[in-house]
Amino acid sequence: MSHPPSSRSARLIDRILIPVIVASIGALAAGGLHMYLSLPRIAHTTAEKSLSAIERAVTSELHALLDPPADLALINAHIISLHPSLPIEKIHALFLEEIESHPEISIVAAGMEDGTYVEVQRLPQGIRYGYRPAGREGDLTFFPTPSLSPGTELQRVAGYDPRTRPWYTEALDAGTMIWSPPYRLASSDAPAMAVSTPIRLGDRTIGVSTVTIELLHFSRILETLTTPLDIRCYLFDDSHHLLAAAPALPPYRLLAPLDSREGSGTPSRDDSLTRHHPETITLTELDGIPVYLQEHLLTSRSTSFHLLTAVPRDSLTAPFRRAQLAALLTILILMVVVVVIALFSSRNIARHFDLLTHHTRVLRLQEAIPADLLTLSRRTDELGEISRALIDLKQRLDQQHEEVLQHLAARELLLKEIDHRVKNNLQTMVSILTLEMETLPSGRAKDTLHLIRQLLHTIALVHDMAYTQPSLTSIDLAQLFDHIVSLYKTTGLSLYYHPSASPHVPLASAIPYGILLSYFLEALRSYASPSDPSTLELLSHEEGYILTMRAVFSPSREVEFKKRILGSLLVKGLLPQLGGQVVFTRTPLSPRKVELETRIPFSAFEWSTDRDCNIEC
For the chain, give every domain's residue range.
Answer: 66-214, 454-602
Block means of pLDDT (10 residues each) for the chain, 617 residues, are 49 63 74 70 73 79 84 89 88 91 91 92 89 84 86 80 89 89 82 91 91 87 70 79 70 31 34 41 72 76 78 71 74 75 61 69 58 71 89 91 85 77 82 81 80 85 80 78 83 77 78 84 79 78 74 76 78 76 66 63 42 25
Return the SS3 of 501. coil
**pLDDT value of residue 265:** 34
Q: Quote the pLDDT of residue 390.
A: 92
Instruction: Provide the whole-model pTM.
Output: 0.45
Q: What's residue 319's pLDDT?
A: 67
pLDDT the model gives residue 346: 58
Cβ-Cβ contacts under 8 Å for 502 (sequence gap 6 or more):
476, 477, 478, 479, 616, 617
Backbone angles phi, psi at 612, to 5 degrees: -85, -10
For residues 277 and 274, what is the distance between their CA atoms, to the nearest angstrom?
A: 10
Closest by Cα among 239, 305, 244, 241 to 278: 305
The per-residue pLDDT for 108 is 94
CATH of 66-214, one of 3.40.50.300, 3.30.450.20, 3.40.630.40, 3.20.20.70: 3.30.450.20
- At the topology level, CATH places domain 454-602 in Heat Shock Protein 90 (3.30.565)
Rounded Cα gap, residues 545 and 281, in angstroms = 57
Can you give the pLDDT at residue 15? 63
pLDDT of 229 = 65
Question: What pLDDT, on a 0 to 100 scale, did the predictor assign at position 420?
Answer: 77
DSSP result, 139-185: -BEEEE-TTSPTT-----BTT--GGGSHHHHHHHHH-S-EEPPPEE-
Question: What pLDDT was estimated at residue 511?
Answer: 85
Angle at 421 between CA 420 and CA 424, to 5 degrees: 90
The DSSP string of 283-321 is EEEETTEEEEEEEEEEE-SS-EEEEEEEEEHHHHHHHHH
